[in-house]
């Protein structure tokens, strides 16, 4: 065998060996890639499962008629709601001679860090002749503003820049339609004669909302749709009356009620939850003794425990002009056991049309709501609440909503 033949055979053997090694390398790379892809898929599944597990909740959240089982979705919805709190340094509201004096509320301002860090407005806070803050007395007004603002948000959900337009209506200035200044003005001119610095009750709050909306009805503010307001302090609704109103415009129903003596009677617990869970809900302005909160819904645990969810207005912020929209939103909400709820409250329901009313009425009847009462027609001589006459079985814990007590007109919230 000549050298040329030996050389060619060696080259052929080397080529075959290299080819085999390359094939082995390719197979090895393919195997690694397949394993990596499998690992990546498995890892993503684990991450997604953990993410889904962390975002899911072992309960149901009902927020202004929307049901959530995912915490992120619930928090995003809450963060888009409008949130009003105490403000300091706003346009002065003159005191009255026979009313509360601004000086008596100074401690609630002095000991709050959020107001003292802004020295520009500090001097105006200590005005003996005028109220420049509602800290210590305006919480029921703020929760009423919350209810009304989120009603407008629900009613105008498809409009651009609606949040800022709505907030501008509530700025702390007498020139703004739904400002704290105008809440006080309309209540002071009413038979209730509430003065600056005095606490509002559910009746004063509902009366102020109705009057302020009627004043703005000529032209929808900032191109926003503004509803009519219907107040029923005895919780009676008459089909013919409501139908006529809904033929004209959406309707905000307000029910200023007292559902017990010192606490909400258990007889009404499920009815309150039903009114918070209905898609027509715009919340409840109420709270616990000496504090008013804006209740946006409730959380129902798997084991059956229920806690109400609310925005707390007792957080003084400095008045800003132009507005800072971020200060009118919050990711935080608090919880309260329904047993601790004060019996005085203002319940809000928004109806867009007659079909909404019929749907709402059906829900209330099917769930045997014990707060609201429906009648086909209104009669002038119908002075008796249905809740007293139509209860077939008298329960020991039943509270007659017809009982009126002038001393309970104002609850110190």
Catalytic residues: 139, 312, 314
Nearest-angstrom CA–CA distance, 336 and 55: 23
Nearest-angstrom CA–CA distance, 61 and 348: 19
Let me know how long the chain is. Answer: 413
List of residues 6+ apart from 292 with CB closer than 8 A: 139, 140, 142, 143, 285, 286, 313, 413
**Residue 134: in which H helix or E strand, if any?**
none
| Inter-axis angle of helices 354-366 and 239-246, nearest 10 | 150
What one-character-per-residue DSSP string does 28-52 give?
HHHHHHHHHHHHHHHHHHHHHHHHH
87 and 316 Cβ atoms separated by less than 8 Å:
yes
Q: Could you give the C-alpha distances from 398 to 81, 235, 266, 268, 345, in angstroms and in order? A: 35, 15, 9, 9, 18
Pull the structure tokens for residue 49. 């499962």
Nearest-angstrom CA–CA distance, 105 and 101: 8
What one-character-per-residue DSSP string does 223-266 give?
G----EEEE-TT-EEEHHHHHHHHTTS-EEEEEEEE-BSSSB-G
Give me the helices (H) in 247-350, please.
269-277
Look up residue 267 and give its DSSP letter: G
Of 150, 112, 104, the C-alpha closest to 131 is: 104
């Amino acid at each position: 065998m000549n050298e040329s033949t030996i050389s060619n055979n060696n080259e052929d053997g080397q080529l075959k060996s290299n080819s085999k090694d390359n094939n082995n390398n390719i197979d090895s790379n393919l195997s690694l890639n397949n394993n990596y892809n499998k690992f990546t898929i498995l890892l993503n599944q684990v991450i997604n499962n953990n993410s889904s597990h962390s975002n899911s909740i072992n309960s149901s959240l009902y927020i202004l008629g929307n049901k959530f089982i995912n915490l992120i979705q619930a928090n995003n919805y809450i963060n888009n709601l409008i949130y009003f709190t105490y403000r300091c340094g706003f346009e002065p509201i003159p005191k009255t001679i026979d009313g509360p004096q601004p000086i008596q509320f100074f401690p609630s301002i002095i000991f709050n860090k959020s107001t003292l860090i802004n020295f520009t407005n500090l001097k105006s806070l200590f005005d003996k002749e005028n109220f420049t803050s509602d800290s210590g007395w305006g919480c029921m007004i703020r929760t009423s503003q919350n209810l009304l603002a989120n009603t407008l948000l629900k009613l105008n959900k498809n409009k651009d820049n609606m949040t800022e337009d709505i907030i501008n209506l509530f700025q702390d200035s007498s020139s703004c339609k739904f400002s704290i200044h105008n809440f006080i003005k309309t209540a002071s001119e009413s038979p209730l004669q509430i003065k600056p610095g005095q606490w509002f009750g559910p009746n004063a709050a509902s009366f102020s909302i109705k009057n302020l909306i009627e004043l703005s009805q000529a032209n929808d503010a900032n191109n926003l749709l503004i509803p009519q307001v219907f107040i029923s302090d005895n919780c009676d609704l008459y089909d013919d009356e409501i139908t006529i109103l809904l033929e004209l415009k959406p309707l905000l129903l307000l029910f200023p009620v007292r559902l017990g003596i010192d606490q909400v009677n258990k007889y009404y617990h499920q009815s309150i939850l039903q009114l918070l869970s209905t898609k027509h809900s715009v919340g409840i302005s109420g709270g616990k003794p000496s504090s008013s909160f804006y209740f946006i819904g409730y959380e129902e645990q798997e084991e059956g425990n229920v806690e109400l969810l609310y925005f707390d207005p007792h957080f003084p912020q400095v008045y800003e002009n132009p507005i800072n929209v971020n200060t009118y939103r919050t990711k935080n909400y608090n919880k309260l056991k329904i047993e601790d709820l004060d019996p005085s409250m203002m319940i809000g329901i928004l109806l867009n049309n007659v079909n909404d009313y019929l749907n709402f009425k059906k829900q209330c009847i099917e769930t045997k709501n014990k707060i609201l009462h429906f009648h086909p027609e209104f009669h002038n001589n119908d002075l008796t609440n249905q809740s007293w006459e139509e209860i077939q079985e008298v329960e020991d814990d039943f509270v007659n909503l017809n009982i009126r007590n002038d001393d309970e007109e104002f609850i110190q919230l």
